[in-house]
Chain A
Amino acid sequence: MKRLVAVAGILALAAGVALASPASKSASKSSSDKWLHVRVEDGAGEDAERVRVNVPLSLAEAVIPAINVDNFRNGKIRVDVNGEDNHLQDVDFRKILIALRDTKDGNFVTVEGSRDNVQVAKQGGYLVAKVREGKEGGTRVDAKIPFQVVEALLSGDNNELNIAAAVRALGEHGDGVLVTVDDHKSKVRIWVDSKNESE
């Protein structure tokens, strides 16, 4: 009988230890292991402010369809073409996109002003936009968005931006820098990779 009690005690202890152990870390990996990173550096020296945001695209994919606020519903933003933005009413973005996708690489728009330069181009499956403000030390904006993402963004109705589809497309695309903004005061960098911490 004493042996039986001892065995029961050991079993109880073992069960207790098993219950007390931390939750299993072998959680299933999400469909997309990509992370969207945003890094903002504002100012310099001791007064500088640094913001780092690391968001797994799987989290964005899960959360975005659940957002139902104002014009943002079911992962899509409805653009009010009959309201203040009515100048967009007659623009068929999808047709423009298809036309852009089917054309060869090259510059679509080049504006060379006395102060600012703007360039929009298609390069190797990316929609590339470059803005240079001022001569030297001015703001520099570089955006390089995969065409699949732009296509997914415009995959809803004509007056909708399909954010959920765009995020999904971003997850299926390779790593890369999406947007950089650089001026004499601040720097912004938005990129996608498989690391869960920013560099």
Chain B
Amino acid sequence: MLSILRSERGFSVPGGMLAAAGVGALFAGSYLYSQGLIRVSVHEKRPGGEHIRLAVPAAIAPLALAFVPAKEIGKHMPAEARQHLPVVEAALNELQRLPDCTLVQVDGPGEHVRIRVLDHQMVVDVNDHQDEVHLTMPLGSLRSVMAKLGRAAEYSSGENACDRSGAWGHAGHHGSGHPDGEVL
């Protein structure tokens, strides 16, 4: 029986599978690392306030979205969100090309806001009397999310649904075919 699991040259099948799984894990880990992490940190300064820390591999967001039908997302997408998708997409494309920089900085008495691009990530830091919020989003991973939302927008039944030519119509690269059932 054991002879089935052991090759003539001394490599066992379970050992080979383990090695393959190790290499696979290495590749998966490398990929996840290369896509960066979405980090969210919210600290409420009031006594007993919440302190939430979240770090999610950015690669998971498009992966998770892939399992949600575009039609379902579109059904629940507010008209305003659909209207502003092209703006966000256009901004995202340009933001990815930017060097490290600070886009907005506000410093006031007890209030600090900074929005910057750092290593192709959008970093938002807000610190005021009530909360301290830090947000890091890898810009690269957001593109596929935006593409999915763009397809979902075609199913949106918001008030401005007839306004597709103006709001989302230019985005021809999102495909004119029926996106139902598409995955990323």
Q: Interface residues, chain A, CB within 8 Å of chain B?
A: 1, 9, 12-13, 15-17, 19-23, 25, 27-30, 46-56, 58-59, 62-63, 65-69, 73-74, 196-197
Contacts and interface: CB of A to CB of B under 8 A. Distances in A.
Interface string B89-117: 11101111111011111111101000000
Given A12-B23, A66-B90, A197 B102 contact: yes
27 contacts: A1-B9, A9-B23, A13-B26, A15-B27, A16-B30, A19-B33, A19-B34, A22-B119, A23-B120, A46-B109, A48-B109, A49-B106, A49-B109, A50-B106, A51-B105, A54-B103, A58-B94, A58-B97, A59-B91, A62-B90, A62-B91, A62-B93, A63-B87, A63-B94, A68-B83, A197-B101, A197-B102
Interface string B28-40: 0111011000000
B104 A20 contact: no
A182 B91 CA distance: 32
A49 B163 contact: no
Nearest to A45: B109
Given A16-B26, A17-B30, A21-B34, A50 B107 contact: yes
A54 B101 contact: yes
Contact of B90 (A15, A53, A63): A63
B166 interface: yes
Residue of B11, B23, B93, B119 most packed against chain A (CB within 10 A): B23
Size range of the interface on B?
35 or more
A27 B117 CA distance: 14
A51 B107 CA distance: 6
B101 A20 contact: no
A53 B106 CA distance: 9
B62 to A, nearest CB: 16
Contacts of A52: 102, 104-106
Contacts of B158: none
B30 to A, nearest CB: 4
B179 interface: no
Nearest to B109: A47
B140 interface: yes
B86 interface: yes
B145 interface: no
